[in-house]
């Protein structure tokens, strides 16, 4: 029986572990935090429960597939709730757009807000469905090593058909004219930590997932996915060591030989899967001389994705006027990305996103559990700046009719600094690498080490990219790759 060690119990590592365990491998997962799921982390403050992230779930069949393919019943571990009218978007002029999976509801709103979009919306849904189906067939379920992998005739044709050279904002202007409506759909770029004015139009496929397929929530909190994965893995013979850090990956003659923990404990392994930030893990766990393809200088060339300024705010009164997903847009959406990526500063007038899971699942918490997120650059933020910016966000929300401070009972703030420390995230970024260049959008660091035999990577910084479903797919992909070898 082959021994596999997985560093990190995020969704990718857990998916790989469950799959490999079911195929007869002996799998141990080593996790530095005290919980499974990585950034899919639950936070309890007194009687208030929050999901740190991710808050928007799509492609539920991917998570179900992990357990079903291993011989289990996923319904015994988590249950999905479909949110048909999932996001309330509020603009600076007071107008509102509810995003719904029912096209007739969208067109009815567009007739008032954007008559051009009302005429184009069915064409938009058709095109983003096409982009998604091409990507799913050609890219999601493959392990890419280099650009050469894209050069087969079928893949080359698929690649050229997913609008790789067009920017997301330019694509959306084909279908939407009202700047406010345009911003709603451009916001999909932030799901991969990027700017809609710089990332490829390929990522418009996210619109298919939200507007055709739907947005989901997991009963009891989205963290139930990670908890369910971990429970199934352990029940079926796997082992997870929590609150345990790996100090280095043992390499002998350019082949994996195991891992060494911070306390000096050594575990042998035939293969090691790194489920964590590619850049941080490669730098910290491997000596530079054994990774010539990824020297420190090369790692430093990667541009980090957006990070986040997050406030968890527990309000004693249930505010049913706050939707499950609610977004407040600024006057100038483009300026937000100039602040983040050019000036490397917190946005002066930010988009404010709120996840309020108590809206759909009242029993999950006391009162209202507001997860408040503002996109931020991956930079260090000192305490005085943190407190000032928090007050600024509270003031902006109160101006929009949400009584934060008069109802506030508990709060906790996460900055890029704390994200960097807790999750070993590259400069505190949420998605590792920004998808602005062709290389970083379509040829992310490979799932298979170019230098070291038996070393593999899964997670948002590798192929097929960021987001919970893609991370989970990366785990399934590499498990299949190892078992087929």
C-alpha torsion 66→69→73→78, nearest 10 = 10
Same-domain check for residues 417 and 464:
no
Most confident of 164-168, 433-437, 440-444: 164-168
As given in the structure block, the two tokens for residue 447 are 């799932």
Averaged pLDDT of the chain: 95
Residue 445 has pLDDT above 70, yes or no: yes
Same-domain check for residues 256 and 405:
no
- Which residues are bridge partners to 100 per DSSP? 85
- pLDDT-derived band of residue 50, with 50, 70 and 90 as boundaries? very high
The CA–CA distances, whole Å, from 403 to 300, 362, 370, 393 equal 43, 19, 12, 12
What CATH number does the domain containing 281 carry? 3.50.50.60
Same-domain check for residues 321 and 381:
yes
Omega within 30 of 0 (cis) for the link into 280:
no
Is 11 domain-assigned? yes
Same-domain check for residues 284 and 351:
no
Look at residue 146 in the predicted model and tell me its pLDDT. 61
Look at residue 150 in the predicted model and tell me its pLDDT. 63
Number of domains in the chain: 2
Same-domain check for residues 409 and 389:
yes
- The pLDDT tens digits of the residues spanning 285-343 come to 999 999 999 999 999 999 999 999 999 999 999 999 999 999 999 999 999 999 999 99
Percent of the chain with pLDDT over 90: 89
Is 30 domain-assigned? yes
Same-domain check for residues 410 and 397:
yes
- Mean pLDDT, range 195-205, rounded to an integer: 96
- Taking the C-alpha atoms of residue 326 and residue 400, their distance in angstroms, rounded to an integer, is 12
Residue 469 has pLDDT above 90, yes or no: yes
Q: Pick from 310, 335, 303: which is nearest to 416 by CA?
A: 310
- The pLDDT tens digits of the residues spanning 19-42 come to 999 999 999 999 999 999 999 999
Sheet holding 455-458, edge to edge: 239-241, 26-30, 3-7, 271-275, 455-458
Residue 294, domain extent: 1-41+66-76+214-302+442-485
Same-domain check for residues 386 and 474:
no
Is 57 domain-assigned? no
**How many other CB atoms sit within 10 Å of the CB of residue 480?**
17
Is 130 domain-assigned? no
Is 434 domain-assigned? no
- Taking the C-alpha atoms of residue 107 and residue 289, their distance in angstroms, rounded to an integer, is 58
Q: Pick from 26, 55, 65, 51: which is nearest to 477 by CA?
A: 65
Residue 220 has pLDDT above 70, yes or no: yes
Query: Which residues have a Cβ under 8 Å from the Cβ of 171 and sit 6 or more positions away?
Result: 163, 201, 204
Kindly report which listed range (48-52, 54-58, 144-148, 218-222) carries the lowest average pLDDT score: 144-148
Look at residue 1 in the predicted model and tell me its pLDDT. 72
Of the candidates 390, 423, 456, which is a domain's last residue? 423
Is 400 domain-assigned? yes
Same-domain check for residues 399 and 315:
yes
- The pLDDT tens digits of the residues spanning 351-373 come to 999 999 999 999 999 999 999 99
Is 145 domain-assigned? no
Same-domain check for residues 402 and 340:
yes
Is 327 domain-assigned? yes
Same-domain check for residues 473 and 371:
no
pTM of the full structure: 0.95
Same-domain check for residues 416 and 475:
no
């Amino acid at each position: 029986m082959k021994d596999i060690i997985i560093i990190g119990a995020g969704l990718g590592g857990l998916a790989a572990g469950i799959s490999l365990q079911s195929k007869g491998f002996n799998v141990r997962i080593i996790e530095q935090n005290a919980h499974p799921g990585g950034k899919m982390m639950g936070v309890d403050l007194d009687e208030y429960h929050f999901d740190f992230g991710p808050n928007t779930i799509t492609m539920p069949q991917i998570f179900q597939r992990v357990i079903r393919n291993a011989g289990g019943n996923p319904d015994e571990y988590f249950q999905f709730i479909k949110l048909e009218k999932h996001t309330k978007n509020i603009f600076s002029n007071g107008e509102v757009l509810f995003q719904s999976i029912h096209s007739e509801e969208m067109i009815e709103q567009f007739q008032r807000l954007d008559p051009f979009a009302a005429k184009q919306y069915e064409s938009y849904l058709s095109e983003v469905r096409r982009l998604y189906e091409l990507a799913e067939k050609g890219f999601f379920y493959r392990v890419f090593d280099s650009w050469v992998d894209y050069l087969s005739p079928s893949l080359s044709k698929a690649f050229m058909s997913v609008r790789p050279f067009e920017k997301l904002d330019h694509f959306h202007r084909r279908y939407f004219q009202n700047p406010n409506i345009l911003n709603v759909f451009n916001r999909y770029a932030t799901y991969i930590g990027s700017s809609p004015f710089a990332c490829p139009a390929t990522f418009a496929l996210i619109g298919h997932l939200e507007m055709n397929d739907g947005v989901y929530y997991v009963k009891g909190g989205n963290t139930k996915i990670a908890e369910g994965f971990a429970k199934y893995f352990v029940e079926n013979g796997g082992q997870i060591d929590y609150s345990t850090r790996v100090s280095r990956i043992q390499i002998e003659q350019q082949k994996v030989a195991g891992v060494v923990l911070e306390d000096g404990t050594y575990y042998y392994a035939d293969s090691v899967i790194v489920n964590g930030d590619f850049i941080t893990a490669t730098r910290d766990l491997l000596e530079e001389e054994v990774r010539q393809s990824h020297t420190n200088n090369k790692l430093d060339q990667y541009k980090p994705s957006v990070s986040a300024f997050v406030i968890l705010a527990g309000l004693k009164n249930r505010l049913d006027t706050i939707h499950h997903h609610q977004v407040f847009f600024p006057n100038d959406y483009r300026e937000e990305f100039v602040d983040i990526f050019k000036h490397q500063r917190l946005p002066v007038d930010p988009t404010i996103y709120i996840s309020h899971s108590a809206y759909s699942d009242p029993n999950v918490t006391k009162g209202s559990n507001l997860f408040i997120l503002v996109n931020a650059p991956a930079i260090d933020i000192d305490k005085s700046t943190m407190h000032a910016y928090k007050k600024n966000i509270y003031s902006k929300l109160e101006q929009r009719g949400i009584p934060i401070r008069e109802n506030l009972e508990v709060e906790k703030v996460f900055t890029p600094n704390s994200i960097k420390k807790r999750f070993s995230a590259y400069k505190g970024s949420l998605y590792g690498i920004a998808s602005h260049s062709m290389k970083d959008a379509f040829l992310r660091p490979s799932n298979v080490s170019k230098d070291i035999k038996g070393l593999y990577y899964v997670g948002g910084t590798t192929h097929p990219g960021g987001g919970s479903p893609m991370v989970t797919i990366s785990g399934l992909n590499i498990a299949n790759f190892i078992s087929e070898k």
